[in-house]
Amino acid sequence: MPRRDQFRLRPMAEADLDLVLEWRNSERVRRAMYSDHLITPDEHRDWFQRVSDERSALPFIFEYDGRPVGVVNVTAMDRRNDRCTWGFYVGAADAPRGTGSAMGFFALEHITGALGFRKVIGEALADNAESIRFHLRLGFAEEGRFREHVFKVGRYVDVISFALFSETWRSNRERLAAEFFSDENKSCLR
């Protein structure tokens, strides 16, 4: 079981783009995404420039022992209604077991803490049982189903919508920290 101090969430930088594009274009990651086409380097750089300029999204890199292993995106940031949408993936195929759980934990700590959002919205393709279980494990509740919402691999696929409220996160975080991280670091929540 990893220690909490082995992980870090940091803003994505231009220097990360080549690695993130490699991850994003891997079959393993594309399978769970809405868009499954191969992204060109120009498309990827245009996306990063757009979100950097408009502040329409906050992309983050998740690290394990100083090595990038995943991505967290905070999008659709709506301060008036105090909600946002998150997306994530473990990019490194050799990331240690438990990396996804740690990434979810750190991301939700940041989204509900430093960013201060009241509601976090998540979505998963209906046939992505792993992502559905992951959302539920973190305390998200299913809010709905978008029927035939995304065209993937020659067919329309349903999408499940989830929500997590900051008060639910606060009531679950100690239990999840104990579950996700080794005993020597259980009580290091701020």
Which residue did the predictor score with more confidence, 76 or 55? 76
pLDDT at 56: 74
pLDDT (mean) for 33-41: 91
* Residues in CB range of 163: below 8 A, 6 or more apart: 119, 120, 121, 122, 140, 141, 143
Residue 104 banded pLDDT, cuts 50, 70, 90: very high
**Sheet (strand 57-64) strand order:** 7-11, 57-64, 67-78, 83-90, 119-125, 155-165, 141-152
Residue 183 banded pLDDT, cuts 50, 70, 90: low
pLDDT at 167: 98
Written as one string, the DSSP assignment of 55-85 is: --EEEEEEEETTEEEEEEEEEEEETTTTEEE
* Three-state SS letters, 123-142: EEECCCHHHHHHHHHCCCEE
pLDDT at 53: 84
Tens of pLDDT, residue by residue over 108-122, are 999 999 999 999 999
What b/e string do you get for 147-178 counting C-beta neighbours within 10 Å, with b at 16 or more? eebbebeeeebebbbbbbbbebbeebbeebbe
pLDDT at 92: 96
pLDDT of 127 over the 90 cut: yes
pLDDT (mean) for 159-169: 98
Phi, psi of 32 (to 5 degrees): -100, -5
* Residues in CB range of 60: below 8 A, 6 or more apart: 9, 10, 11, 12, 71, 72, 73, 74, 107, 110
Q: Which helix (H) or strand (E) holds 22?
A: helix 17-24
pLDDT of 86 over the 60 cut: yes
pLDDT (mean) for 94-114: 96
pLDDT at 188: 43
Set out the domains of the chain in order of their start, with CATH numbers. 4-185 (3.40.630.30)
The mean of the pLDDT values for the chain is 93
Parallel, antiparallel, or unpaired: how do β-strands 83-90 and 57-64 relate? unpaired
Parallel, antiparallel, or unpaired: how do β-strands 67-78 and 83-90 relate? antiparallel
Report the chain's terminal Cα–Cα distance, integer Å. Answer: 21
